[in-house]
Homo-oligomer: A and B are copies of this chain.
Amino acid sequence: MSISCFVCALALVASSASISPAQESARLAQDPAVKAALDAAKRNEPHFLDEQIRICEIPAPPFHEDARGRELERLFRQMGLQNVRIDKAGNVIGVRPGAAVHPNLLFQAHLDTVFPPETNVKVTREGDVLKGPGIGDDCRGLAMMLGVIQALNDAKVQTPGTITFVADTGEEGLGDLRGTKNLFNETLKGQIDKFVSVDGTGLGITNVGVGSYRYRATFKGPGGHSFGAFGMANPIQAMGRAIAKIDSFEVPSSPKTTFNVGRVGGGTSVNAIPFECWMEVDMRSSDKDSLETLHGKYNAAVQQAVEEENKRWNGRSPVSVDNALVGYRPAGITPADSPIVLAAIAVTKLFGAPGALREGSTDSNVPMNLGIPAVTIGSGGAGSGAHSLNETFNTKDSWLGTQRGLLLAVTLAR
């Protein structure tokens, strides 16, 4: 028996002998320091609901999260996080060191909203209900994260591993997860062992990251008179061939894999061969390989359509295509029986929620795609109308979300 195999065997014995995630989280919840932190989280909740409103009233439109980011940077410093900085993608980073550098848990919420700069971001409060664009998604996540940091500080909780807190950029729409991509590809490359993002409300757990490709394909030709110039290749007709091919794609129903031609446009007049047209296409899957296969099929279909169109018109005034990738969210799954998911379920159940698992498209897609254990959790309370101007957040028992997040962070930072 070689030494390495002896180590393997030992590890196996240790794993089998170790207590379950449910037992571990239940034990931690009774640890005096952690218990004190959970109490602090509940006690501090009214303050962090005020902070949630204040943060929400600092606009953070897509690609313009800097003002809100600077406020988070100030708060991170004020709360004593270490090495506080803003990276080139606009992510605000602060470290709460543990006894060791590893395991290093990245715990984050996103700064950006879907709302354009001119949006009125004033928040109103009526009874338990806060109303304002972004109040739940993800100002609640940011405030809940701050509540976790403050409670850990108040109770002087010392974790065996490190927790790196981040307020990240570009989670929404065309932001295309650029903040989190930059964290894993550059700023914190190779340094993160586990990942939790706080996004949305309630006590849900997302362990499947639905990936997507988004394209805008523009077909071009010289154009001309429909009668006089007849015989030229036609960009709209090339695009029609591409769409017909896409429509015939076969995709697996499990893991769910989808495609959609969502928008088209182009042409100037019914009696003119168009010089330009375009289509926007969306493809999704929670399975990396299925998504890559579909991506390949799509690219081939667009090229084939153009070739067929040019051949059909004998190469006269050929059409070309600019097939632009305008969005990419990598797909990934953190297995339902992995330690991080089991821990999330166990912790969630301690707070009376079912701990059911969901699919979604969030910052977790990035680490999931890299094989790094990751989940996205809700931030407590109850939300409605996310991505609308009528977004609300119901604060009733929202402290449970902060406590759940805190206990999960402490469970994973070891």
* A303 touches B (CB below 8 Å): no
Known: A240-B239, A240-B243. A265 touches B262 (CB 8 A): no
CA gap between A281 and B236 in the complex, in Å: 11
* A316 touches B (CB below 8 Å): no
Q: What residues of B have a CB within 8 angstroms of the CB of A266 in the complex?
A: 263-265
Q: What residues of B have a CB within 8 angstroms of the CB of A263 in the complex?
A: 236, 266-270, 274
* A280 touches B (CB below 8 Å): yes
CA gap between A263 and B271 in the complex, in Å: 9
Partner of A210, one of B227, B272, B274, B282: B227
* A77 touches B (CB below 8 Å): no
Tell me which residues from 188 to 233 in chain A have a Cβ below 8 Å from any Cβ of chain B.
210, 214, 216, 226-227, 230
Size of the chain A interface, CB-CB below 8 angstroms: 47
Partner of A260, one of B216, B230, B256, B261: B230
* A242 touches B (CB below 8 Å): yes
Q: What residues of B have a CB within 8 angstroms of the CB of A282 in the complex?
A: 226, 270-271
Interface of A toward B, CB cutoff 8 Å: 210, 214, 216, 226-227, 230, 234, 236-244, 246-248, 256, 258-274, 277, 279-282, 284, 309, 312, 326-327
Q: Is the CB of A226 within 8 A of B284?
A: yes
As for how many copies of this chain the complex holds, the number is 2
Within the complex, the shortest CB–CB distance from A204 to chain B, in Å, comes to 16
CA gap between A226 and B263 in the complex, in Å: 12
CA gap between A243 and B241 in the complex, in Å: 7
Q: What residues of B have a CB within 8 angstroms of the CB of A210 in the complex?
A: 227
Within the complex, the shortest CB–CB distance from A219 to chain B, in Å, comes to 11
Q: Is the CB of B264 within 8 A of A264?
A: yes
Nearest residue (CB) in B for A313 is: B247
Partner of A214, one of B261, B262, B270, B279: B270
Q: Is the CB of B312 within 8 A of A248?
A: yes
CA gap between A244 and B248 in the complex, in Å: 13
Q: What residues of B have a CB within 8 angstroms of the CB of A236 in the complex?
A: 243, 261-264, 279
Q: What residues of B have a CB within 8 angstroms of the CB of A312 in the complex?
A: 247-248
Most buried by B among A230, A236, A239: A236
Q: Is the CB of B226 within 8 A of A258?
A: yes
Q: Is the CB of B258 within 8 A of A262?
A: no
Pairs across A and B, CB under 8 Å, 27 listed:
A210-B227, A226-B262, A226-B282, A226-B284, A234-B247, A236-B261, A237-B244, A237-B247, A237-B261, A238-B247, A239-B243, A239-B264, A240-B241, A240-B242, A240-B246, A260-B272, A260-B273, A261-B267, A262-B267, A262-B270, A263-B266, A263-B268, A263-B274, A264-B265, A265-B265, A267-B280, A270-B326
Q: Is the CB of A260 within 8 A of B264?
A: no
Nearest residue (CB) in B for A279 is: B236
Nearest residue (CB) in B for A248 is: B312
CA gap between A226 and B326 in the complex, in Å: 16
Contacts A237-B247, A244-B244 known; 14 new A-B pairs at CB < 8 A: A216-B270, A236-B262, A236-B279, A237-B244, A240-B241, A240-B243, A240-B244, A241-B243, A241-B244, A260-B273, A262-B268, A262-B274, A263-B274, A267-B280
